[in-house]
Structure 1
């Protein structure tokens, strides 16, 4: 790969070594320290000018990534040669060197390949024939100090030839770095000797072990970084489908076949000419992205985060297209290139199998004894499904679907060469194949498989067969969702959701989802559920409501798949309403019975309810790690149970008083209080309180009230494991502004309010329950944090500090969110509840947002009865149930307009801060 340096155009414009050498030679004096300082100034100017030239070339030709990477390596080469010559010629000259006073400088690692990003480490090795002498130590130390003074990050080693061989044999990382070793400067004969000894004493006869270790290292790296090439903030260097995967292929080829360039892999039969072009195209693209990433961030950054994706898309000149912004088109290209890297890896390993794996075995894997006899003309190659002839798909294109169905049915892997043929022949899937009943039946068998549909669907997607057979799915392949909520591309999210559904059904995730597992066994419309999970996001990126458009796609596709009219109608309904359950559970007050009635009115049947719950669970969990939690599980369970009761008993609220009485009887039994004490508690609390709170919170509140006695303020904070949060209860004399002060104090303590219920006792006390999590979605669970939370709320309510000043002084976090432009919106609904005005606010999530919104409600003279906070990455959706000060809905048009204006200002962060006086 280093050959690219030799073909760089106009190299002298990057750095003119002869001119700089003349400038260094012209330096006067014999003071070593002063000479080195003067040299550093000259070299720094050359480094800055060279970097600027490379950056300017990349700006002019933003897709020439390999050229930019080679340019960086060339620049460092020339500087190292200059530093070596200056150090050995001017700083520490030696007239009659001994045989031991020889030194060679070798580039290793990525730098050894002749590829560097602007702020990559300079990986070098100093080699001596034997133990270091005083002179070699002086030279190495002076060179390193010069490099450090230039601001370069240097990875270095100093070894004798014997030490190099010993370390390379014992450490895979060192062996890999030296495998890329490239002569830079110094004693060339010593380098030749080192290279010969490395081939003779390190690599000879160890290719199979090296390959096995390198593939295990690759698998561990993938697992550490999420094991998917479709994460929406990928690591360009280390992630699956990134540069390191391409490097691994080259390392293996170089180690096993002694190749010097990627092009030589074609001569060895490891890549075809077409695959070589794919390798070089992917490598060039990934290097362009990585170089732009370094230049934008000004450091060695390899994670393609949201805050830089938009700028890289602009630099690489992606244009707007209908339904796709430049950043979405750029990221789609990225994922397609990452997929290409995965395809090449599979094919490369297949060739290694043929060359290195033991007879009848797979490389690094045990032999597979399964030998199914009915393979419909396909054959087995060491346990993998293979083709009997190169034109096997051309003679019957339905076999492109059948291959995956057989792999699923018999638990077989597919030979990479068969995958290559499937990718090549996927274009044979035309309208006739898509309409073919056998092809659709086979596809539906894979989709609804009781085994492992996720894996086989992913193979089908990797081969390009999925998108050809279902063109609507092909439209979302590699399509990212540019937000901080979704972790994967649309196709990866959908396939993961299918996998989660299968795991819930098979009991693998029974411990995580006991309710969903029990429900799946009860459903009648199993096929409809799997198809709905596949299609729920099928219409994303089409410029409209993807739920409505997706339902239209479902009505068209389901009959083709072989679903009945009833199943088709069920799938379309589920796709149309797949966000209904989460929106209701997370944004509405489930204690308000009208919420349940409105939800049940849309759902209409217990079977739909069961299907919708399971679809909602897998949709949320497939968004990414950490999105699903016990709080969401509990809210969805509460909504399901309440709606199920309505659907079973009819849309009529029955037994409100009986339900309250039953709750009170259960509570009294739980508390063990005498009749008089319990009657006093009941008399103080309104009916709405008994409906709103679950029995365990009622018990905690009752004990809290009893312990508080006559105190005007009592605060408790305790872990609430059932909800995955901390329950904060404030029992205080009621007064205006209580809520926004508490919300601000919780934020200052490092917490986020995810739910709040506000109650007022009949004798004028506020009883407010808050569910609080830390920024990572976990409860506060140690004594110090709980005490800080309690003390912060007490200080805020006692007005001991200027709350607004402290909130303003708290540093803003999560600058990545600034990459997203979210226009705040406010929706006021007087029909969603019979008793309350419901206000929903959508805004960019930011610190103390809830405090600002609550203060706006305080200014609007509105009473908050409950608040529900949901976050979707960078977006916050906060919902409030309000009345005016006398307990009625807010209906006057002028008041509603004023309320909306204040909430919009607070959501946008333009509202004036609260005016408070310190106590």
Structure 2
């Protein structure tokens, strides 16, 4: 955009010396000199790149200088080749007017923004079609560029063709818009530029802006539609380089600006905003250069495995509570956020400029509607605006008020007012933060009835949010270096508030029926909104963010205006916001002790209602696909059982009554097959009847009966289980040691992930095992071929027809990027969580068939697995097993527990994975 000055240019490439060398080679070698000329050009190119790489290493944030340097290097190479071809390969003494050629750099090359492996985009323009000399010269130049290993995007058109195609093709029009003269016939370039301005641009400004914005929106949708996705695309992602380029294109098209700095002169940016523009652009260009250098290719995705390397190259260091890579990514997202703010202000100004030039016709042509007043603000055209430049300076609490009014009245905020708010956000000091009026306004906005999510995002973009709630400012643009969280902490929080608002308005009843009902039963709606705001407020402080967040809540809630009861509730919710999901996903909900322990921590129905709502929005706001019906079902079961226990002071029915009720319900489901119950019901113990839902018991009884009638030793049945968003796999077989790990191995080999498992043994020694499985995308196996593959794979594994260990080791992880993370395996034992079982939890880096290896380790440790609960948090797996020893008792001896721990750690280690892969 602004052609940077390249210091010590001849250290990058000395064109005069290179041209002299090539002229000498051409004179000495004649037609056979070409290989030597290519070698000389290649040596110059490689030396120039090496010099620029050295400069990037010395000054790792100089994005403009390095990208401009690469464009300068290519310029000199292209000019040298052109002059050699015209002088030595296809010399023409008396060229006709048709034998003229101009070389125009377009794309990133045209903007002088080239990363080390960017394409070289050149437009060859000549006066007329079918000029043989022009085609020969173009072909010769291209062959030289290809021989140098450059990836060239090129076009060859006459002036008329160029103008005609620019009129109909947005891509060509944009390319010419940022075209830059490189070499050749200057007059021809000037002619194309003049005709482009007169014949293409003039009168099409509005359409160009509309087309560019639609193109941008489509690109955002492809890239995740958030500038806070944790693996951003530096070039095409929201808030990335392409968004900055779009602003420049629009400004240049409408106002004919030559360089980005001219956007200040035409009033689209202030000087301070332009400096922000350049800072953000320079940083992102530098990041892109580092990505290209590290990978040796044109890589624009800032993936997890590259984030550490780029952070190190850009000299980011660890700090207490925040790693180097998290600090680097936080800075990246702050730049992306700034791009978003600039985009909003810029486009709103463009819109306003168009509105001023719009011609009114008809009876109302002379009528200008007046702005109405709202608490001193001007409201016009659906926008709220401050009445003057000193509005916020005179009363800084208005910085909160303007956003509250926008949310309450469904208004947008005028771009000039947004600009003022960003400029004046520093006026929010201690006295404003403790102003009761300002806090009341903030609380009204937070719990707004219209669209608090959007308005809070605007507030965050201006910096007002972080100034008013400094603890929120600390998590602004903060990423969490893992594969589970899709967004930065501030974006996750604002999305969670938006989800809470939608649940309250009844828009998500199908996905969240309990939360949609409970939110209208809670005592304080503002308390749940504050709890959602604060649940992750203490992340990145180097301690347990739940505990630290509780302390923040105790300090902030009274400031916001919450009473003592609301403050105590919010502080507890923040401290316990992970309790419900951990219990539902990692514990056996059919074990009475699980419910007792959970209820003892929750203690009241009011807390439970709020915790259910907070848990739902927290999980869903993590990212797309994180919430599913399986999680909803488990949380619902826990909520219902805990609610019953809290309301009655005990479980409604004792063990015998619950088993009898289950049998009665199963009898109804079996219908004309209810006779199977008389034959087989007594073979299943009470634990089975309590653990399994009625519909699964009915299926199990049918399959158990069929297996016995056919005197088959094995029954494998798979079917979709819609209420859990998974596929139910039932295996009935003669029980024997190692059955569980073999079934798990067969399921993994079929490409499925186990999310829950219940293992039962009948009184007659038969195993009845139920597994819930999903594909790597978290969806059920539903096609007939998939179900058949599951059944065959399990049967083969149990019959030893497949070598499980080597085959499983070769299977790739569904998330191969998990290797970018350091996750040390941890094994914990809990003999208090269950009355009958020892509960073992293993946390480890997710990898191929981890569950199979852990199950085998438990088998080799002479343990019986009764249920398994499988949870994944991105790259991290958390697998919980309810086990007994071979005699049916808990595992208690210290030496025994230590030996089991070592076996499980070995099974989940990277070294063990490497051994298996090399076996």
For normalisation by structure 2, the TM-score amounts to 0.95
Q: Distance in 2 between matches of 1:57 and 1:562?
A: 55
> What SS is found at the alignment partner of 1:781?
coil
Aligned to 2:885: 884
Aligned to 2:401: 402
1:274-423 → structure 2 map (5 Å cutoff)? 274-358=272-356, 375-423=374-422
Q: Distance in 1 between matches of 2:586 and 2:373?
A: 53
Question: CA shift at 1:372, angstroms?
Answer: 8.8
Query: Is the 1:371–1:383 Cα contact (8 Å) retained in structure 2?
Result: no
Q: Distance in 2 between matches of 1:354 and 1:3?
A: 30
Aligned to 2:821: 820
Aligned to 1:482: 481
Q: Distance in 1 between matches of 2:675 and 2:395?
A: 84
Q: Distance in 1 between matches of 2:553 and 2:277?
A: 38
Task: Render the CA deviation track for 1:450-479: whole Å, top value 9, x for unaligned.
Answer: 111111111111111111111111111111
From 43, 46, 52, the counterpart of 1:45? 43
Aligned to 2:760: 759
Q: Distance in 1 between matches of 2:421 and 2:809?
A: 59
1:572 aligns with 2:571: yes
> What SS is found at the alignment partner of 1:735?
coil
Aligned to 1:134: 132
Aligned to 1:612: 611
Q: Distance in 2 between matches of 1:371 and 1:687?
A: 76
Aligned to 1:804: 805
Question: CA shift at 1:175, angstroms?
Answer: 0.4
Aligned to 1:228: 226
Structure 1 residues 657 and 19, CA, compared in 2 at 3 Å: closer, same or farther?
same
Q: Distance in 1 between matches of 2:232 and 2:481?
A: 13
Question: CA shift at 1:659, angstroms?
Answer: 1.4
Q: Distance in 1 between matches of 2:206 and 2:371?
A: 30
Q: Distance in 2 between matches of 1:769 and 1:33?
A: 78
Structure 1 residues 721 and 135, CA, compared in 2 at 3 Å: closer, same or farther?
farther
Aligned to 2:645: 646
Structure 1 residues 359 and 696, CA, compared in 2 at 3 Å: closer, same or farther?
farther
Aligned to 2:852: 851
Aligned to 1:434: 433
Query: Is the 2:372–2:379 Cα contact (8 Å) retained in structure 1?
Result: no
1:904 aligns with 2:897: no
Task: Render the CA deviation track for 1:204-237: whole Å, top value 9, x for unaligned.
Answer: 1222221222222222322332222222211111
Query: Is the 2:676–2:701 Cα contact (8 Å) retained in structure 1?
Result: no
Structure 1 residues 703 and 31, CA, compared in 2 at 3 Å: closer, same or farther?
farther
Unaligned segments of structure 1, at least 5 residues? none
Question: CA shift at 1:371, angstroms?
Answer: 8.7
- Mean Cα deviation higher: 707-716 or 553-562: 707-716
Q: Distance in 2 between matches of 1:813 and 1:208?
A: 46
> What SS is found at the alignment partner of 1:449?
coil
1:507-906 → structure 2 map (5 Å cutoff)? 507-652=506-651, 654-673=653-672, 676-709=675-708, 710-811=711-812, 814-906=815-907
Q: Distance in 2 between matches of 1:913 and 1:679?
A: 52
1:168-207 → structure 2 map (5 Å cutoff)? 168-207=166-205
Q: Distance in 2 between matches of 1:242 and 1:909?
A: 36
Question: CA shift at 1:743, angstroms?
Answer: 1.5
Structure 1 residues 914 and 857, CA, compared in 2 at 3 Å: closer, same or farther?
farther
Q: Distance in 1 between matches of 2:715 and 2:218?
A: 51
Task: Render the CA deviation track for 1:287-311: whole Å, top value 9, x for unaligned.
Answer: 1111111111221111111111111
Question: CA shift at 1:370, angstroms?
Answer: 11
Question: CA shift at 1:846, angstroms?
Answer: 1.0
Structure 1 residues 403 and 811, CA, compared in 2 at 3 Å: closer, same or farther?
closer
Question: CA shift at 1:391, angstroms?
Answer: 1.0
Task: Render the CA deviation track for 1:608-641: whole Å, top value 9, x for unaligned.
Answer: 1111111000000111111111111111111111
Question: CA shift at 1:28, angstroms?
Answer: 5.8
- Mean Cα deviation higher: 242-251 or 377-386: 377-386
Query: Is the 1:229–1:241 Cα contact (8 Å) retained in structure 2?
Result: yes
Aligned to 2:13: 15
Unaligned segments of structure 2, at least 5 residues? none
- Aligned residue pairs: how many? 909
Structure 1 residues 373 and 162, CA, compared in 2 at 3 Å: closer, same or farther?
closer
Q: Distance in 2 between matches of 1:496 and 1:242?
A: 21
Q: Distance in 2 between matches of 1:811 and 1:488?
A: 26
Q: Distance in 2 between matches of 1:625 and 1:33?
A: 62
> What SS is found at the alignment partner of 1:185?
strand
Query: Is the 1:804–1:914 Cα contact (8 Å) retained in structure 2?
Result: no
> What SS is found at the alignment partner of 2:543?
coil
Query: Is the 2:2–2:261 Cα contact (8 Å) retained in structure 1?
Result: no
Query: Is the 2:466–2:473 Cα contact (8 Å) retained in structure 1?
Result: yes
Structure 1 residues 810 and 677, CA, compared in 2 at 3 Å: closer, same or farther?
closer
Query: Is the 1:370–1:383 Cα contact (8 Å) retained in structure 2?
Result: no
Question: CA shift at 1:272, angstroms?
Answer: 1.9
> What SS is found at the alignment partner of 2:908?
helix
Q: Distance in 2 between matches of 1:270 and 1:437?
A: 37
> What SS is found at the alignment partner of 1:357?
helix
Question: CA shift at 1:904, angstroms?
Answer: 1.3
Task: Render the CA deviation track for 1:786-831: whole Å, top value 9, x for unaligned.
Answer: 2222222111111123211212233456342222211111100000
From 230, 247, 257, the counterpart of 1:249? 247
Task: Render the CA deviation track for 1:308-349: whole Å, top value 9, x for unaligned.
Answer: 111111111112222222111111111111122122222222
Structure 1 residues 912 and 283, CA, compared in 2 at 3 Å: closer, same or farther?
closer
Task: Render the CA deviation track for 1:58-86: whole Å, top value 9, x for unaligned.
Answer: 00000111101101111111121222233
Question: CA shift at 1:702, angstroms?
Answer: 2.1
Question: CA shift at 1:503, angstroms?
Answer: 0.5
Q: Distance in 2 between matches of 1:99 and 1:707?
A: 91
- Mean Cα deviation higher: 506-515 or 405-414: 506-515
Question: CA shift at 1:653, angstroms?
Answer: 7.0
Query: Is the 1:528–1:571 Cα contact (8 Å) retained in structure 2?
Result: yes
Structure 1 residues 37 and 776, CA, compared in 2 at 3 Å: closer, same or farther?
farther
Q: Distance in 1 between matches of 2:27 and 2:326?
A: 59
Query: Is the 1:902–1:911 Cα contact (8 Å) retained in structure 2?
Result: no
> What SS is found at the alignment partner of 2:754?
strand
Query: Is the 1:313–1:327 Cα contact (8 Å) retained in structure 2?
Result: yes
Structure 1 residues 489 and 371, CA, compared in 2 at 3 Å: closer, same or farther?
farther
> What SS is found at the alignment partner of 1:27?
helix
Structure 1 residues 155 and 703, CA, compared in 2 at 3 Å: closer, same or farther?
farther
- Mean Cα deviation higher: 157-166 or 673-682: 673-682
Aligned to 1:119: 117
Question: CA shift at 1:682, angstroms?
Answer: 0.3
- Mean Cα deviation higher: 268-277 or 158-167: 268-277
From 207, 216, 219, the counterpart of 1:218? 216
Aligned to 2:493: 494
Query: Is the 1:824–1:904 Cα contact (8 Å) retained in structure 2?
Result: yes
Q: Distance in 2 between matches of 1:276 and 1:237?
A: 20
Question: CA shift at 1:156, angstroms?
Answer: 1.6
Aligned to 1:155: 153
Query: Is the 2:838–2:884 Cα contact (8 Å) retained in structure 1?
Result: yes
Question: CA shift at 1:357, angstroms?
Answer: 2.1
Query: Is the 1:36–1:146 Cα contact (8 Å) retained in structure 2?
Result: no
Query: Is the 1:266–1:273 Cα contact (8 Å) retained in structure 2?
Result: yes
> What SS is found at the alignment partner of 2:484?
coil
